[in-house]
């Protein structure tokens, strides 16, 4: 007798990330599309990258660079990255042993955490925080220790005394982000000294997310942890060509770290992505021969920042400082008593401009009456958004 054929049933799962759902960026972008709103929510440009860069990538394709590149990245690109860091920040990374090209910055961040965080290790994350940090820590089996930034008249700042108090014998790593998404704040040299005082003489590592490194305004230098010998000796430094060259969809980034850390990073990297788009690597390497595109980026985005801030000056929004990134945070308490997520939805559906609630960047949503706009848009896009927002 034949056994009955079992029903087709998908086995049940225990989720690895029980607190994770659809991101606020996906939800707000979908809402913006549904209502024809100007999307100042998700952080990407609506203008084209340099045609020269596209041509260089196309030339690399025609030259036959269409197969697997080296796992660590093409030599020319790794050398160009090391040269740039040396010129800007004064730290000499070995292009062969200490630079790896990644499939965007998020892959670099996640790979670094998976490489060094063991089950039970604690990782200090500064809130509000980019949304990939905490899930990546949890996937590694680590324990997130959140410490909230302080907001005062000078804007958002890191309370280093609270960071120091959060350190325990189980602390493995501290995640820092400057220029900071979502707040637009930047670390200064004094911040690097404060961080070095906390980690110096310990086994604590640092993961420094510096994807907006070329978007620091008002003549201020970018305080990369690469500048500080104590920090550089224990840090993974992550950056993104997507942010620098207006090519977020290409998903090309890199990480720089001392050779012992990079050895562990590459052990994970080779199995979660192996290698990264070959013709784009060759094209970017050739494009980097001219430093002007990234050296001119602060002025390019500062003009957009100032344009956007001037357009909101007559509204009831309260502008917070925007010292870096391409984000502007605003208080809206004079406009509405709504919680942040509800206000962002109302702004999208009724006013026609999408924003992101800053509360979404906390483990436990924190209501501060603040939303974030992205000004990495064409002038005409910003003008349309400002026309709609000015009525508020």
Domain layout of the chain by residue ranges: 24-43+295-389, 51-289
Fold of 24-43+295-389: 3.90.1150
Which tokens sit at 17? 């990330």
Q: pTM for this one? A: 0.96
Please, are residues 297 and 244 in contact by the beta-carbon 8 Å criterion? yes
Give 207's Cβ-side CA count (13 Å radius). Answer: 30
Pure H helices in 273-339: 278-287, 292-295, 297-312
Task: Give the model's pLDDT for residue 23.
Answer: 83
Task: Give the model's pLDDT for residue 1.
Answer: 56
CA distances from 56 to 1, 170, 186, 279 (A): 68, 47, 33, 9
Rg over CA atoms, the chain: 22
CATH number of 51-289: 3.40.640.10
Closest CA to 78 of 281, 264, 291: 281
Tens-level pLDDT at each residue, the chain (392 residues)? 567 777 788 999 999 998 888 788 888 889 999 999 999 998 999 999 999 999 999 999 999 999 999 999 999 999 999 999 999 999 999 999 999 999 999 999 999 999 999 999 999 999 999 999 999 999 999 999 999 999 998 899 999 999 999 999 999 999 999 999 999 999 999 999 999 999 999 999 999 999 999 999 999 999 999 999 999 999 999 999 999 999 999 999 999 999 999 999 999 999 999 999 999 999 999 999 999 999 999 999 999 999 999 999 989 999 999 999 999 999 999 999 999 999 999 999 999 999 999 999 999 889 999 999 999 999 999 999 999 999 89
Give 187's Cβ-side CA count (13 Å radius). Answer: 29
Task: Give the model's pLDDT for residue 302.
Answer: 98
Q: Can you say how many angstroms the Cα of residue 319 is from the centroid of all Cα atoms in its chain?
A: 22
Distance CA 255, CA 237 (A): 5
Task: Give the model's pLDDT for residue 365.
Answer: 82
- Spell out the residues 6+ positions from residue 68 whose beta carbon is closer than 8 angstroms to its own: 274, 275, 278
């Amino acid at each position: 007798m034949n056994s009955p054929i079992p029903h087709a049933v998908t086995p049940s799962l225990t989720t690895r990330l029980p607190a994770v759902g659809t991101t606020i960026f996906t939800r707000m972008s979908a809402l913006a599309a549904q209502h024809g709103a100007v999307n100042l929510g998700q952080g990407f440009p609506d203008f084209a990258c340099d045609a020269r860069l596209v041509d260089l990538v196309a030339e690399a394709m025609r030259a036959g660079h269409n197969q697997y590149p080296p796992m660590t990245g093409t030599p020319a690109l790794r050398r160009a990255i090391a040269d740039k860091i040396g010129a800007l920040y004064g730290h000499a990374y070995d292009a062969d042993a200490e630079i790896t090209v990644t499939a965007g910055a998020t892959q670099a961040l996640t790979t670094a955490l998976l490489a060094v965080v063991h089950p039970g290790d604690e990782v200090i994350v500064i809130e509000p925080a980019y949304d990939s940090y905490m899930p990546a820590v949890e996937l590694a089996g680590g324990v997130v220790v959140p410490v909230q930034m302080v907001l005062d008249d000078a804007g958002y700042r890191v309370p280093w005394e609270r960071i120091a108090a959060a350190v325990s014998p189980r602390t493995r790593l501290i995640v820092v982000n400057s220029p900071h998404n979502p707040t637009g704040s930047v670390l200064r040299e004094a911040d690097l000294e404060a961080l070095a005082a906390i980690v110096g003489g310990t086994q604590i590592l640092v993961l420094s997310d510096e994807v907006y490194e070329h978007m620091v305004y008002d003549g201020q230098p970018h305080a990369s942890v690469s500048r500080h010998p104590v920090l550089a000796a224990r840090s993974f430094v992550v950056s993104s060509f997507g942010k620098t060259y207006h090519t977020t969809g290409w998903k090309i980034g890199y990480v720089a770290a001392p050779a012992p850390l990079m050895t562990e990073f590459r052990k994970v990297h080779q199995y979660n992505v192996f290698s990264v788009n070959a013709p784009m690597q060759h094209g970017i390497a050739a494009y980097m021969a001219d430093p002007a595109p990234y050296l001119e980026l602060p002025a390019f985005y500062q003009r957009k920042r100032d344009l956007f801030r001037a357009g909101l000056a007559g509204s009831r929004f309260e502008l917070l400082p925007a010292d870096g990134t391409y984000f502007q945070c605003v208080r809206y308490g004079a406009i509405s008593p709504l919680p942040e997520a509800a206000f962002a939805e109302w702004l999208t559906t009724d006013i026609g401009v999408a924003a992101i609630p800053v509360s979404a960047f906390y483990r436990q949503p924190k209501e501060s009456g603040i939303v974030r706009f992205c000004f990495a848009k064409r002038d005409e896009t910003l003008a349309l958004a400002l026309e709609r927002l000015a009525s508020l």
